[in-house]
Amino acid sequence: MFVIKYKKFFIGLSMFFVVVALLALVRFGLSLGIDFKGGSQLQFAYTDTRPDIATIKSVVAEAGFPDAVIQPTGENGFIVKSRSISDPEKDALLKTLNVDATKASLTTIGPSVGAELKHKAIISVILVLVAIICFVAYAFRKVSKPVSSWKYGLAVIIALIHDIAIPLGAFAVLGHFYGAELDTLFVVALLTTLALSIADTIVVFDRIREHIGTEKNTNFPELVGHSLSETFVRSINTSLMVLVMVITLAIVGPASTKLFATVLAIGMFFGTYSSIFLASPLLVVFEQMQRKRSK
């Protein structure tokens, strides 16, 4: 199969994307939302036609919130995310914006709560990664030839690093140029990406394991290529179906879920790529390295 024939190109392309993503992370960093750093979210709606967002930004900045992130929501509403807003500040701001106070809601998260959420989000991602690695190690514990079982786990780890790094880099770019802030929905999108990606990878690896037992006289690159050809259409079709729905949600969905859908779409695309064009070719590279050492 062409994936195995041009494995160096596809692995190199993955490395390129990861390096670009890491450079974006170093250059721009991640902009944390109020879920993780604390702050307030003020949501309000106009009875009639709402003003343009530039006008709202100007009024909010003059009211003492120059760093506020403003997003349109619904037909006539806005969401303002900023430092903690007191009740008197909220009333004054709504008055300046000519908004009926009954059509506004204020949510405030303290710094300690935000720090706790950030800690739990990191722990959640780490636990998921550990669980995935343990599952792969157990599932392929009886596979020892021509590639050691632990190398299946190594391929999965590399693919997962790829699947985490690229969405993070993309988010850093979105945060720098479009003011996107990392929140709990981003963590959900990341965990969903990992789950879908590892599911595709395991399907291919399991097919490789089956063929190792039934095609002992076939060389390993051909065996991997055969396994990929059997699962390629299934993986692509499944991912395309999900991508169509997620991209539609990102385009026409509510503002509150656009970022989640965008991150999920990016993660789905590169997660599918890693399961087909990275993890399996890596097994072939590992097998070739192992064969050279044994000579």
* Pair 273, 157 in one domain: yes
Number of domains in the chain: 2
* Pair 136, 191 in one domain: yes
* Average of per-residue pLDDT across 19-33: 91
Do 8 and 104 sit in the same domain of this protein? no
**What CATH code is carried by the domain that includes residue 27?**
1.20.1640.10
**What pLDDT shows up at residue 144?**
60
| CATH label of the domain that carries residue 75 | 3.30.70.260
Choose one of 64, 79, 109: the last residue of a domain: 109
Kindly write down the DSSP assignment for every residue of 20-55, as one continuous string.
HHHHHHHHH---B-HHHH-EEEEEEE-SSPPPPHHH
**Is the domain of 265 the same as that of 127?**
yes
pLDDT of 216 over the 90 cut: no
Residues 6+ apart with CB under 8 A from 6: none
**Is it the case that residue 54 has pLDDT exceeding 80?**
yes
Q: What is the tens place of the pLDDT at every residue in 236-275?
A: 888 888 888 888 888 887 777 788 888 889 988 999 999 8
Per residue in 57-85, pLDDT tens? 888 888 888 888 888 877 788 888 888 88
Most confident of 3-12, 69-78, 94-103: 3-12
Mean pLDDT of the chain: 84
How confident is the model at residue 19, as a pLDDT? 96
Q: What is the pLDDT of residue 239?
A: 85
Determine the structural domain holding residue 81 and report its residue range: 39-109
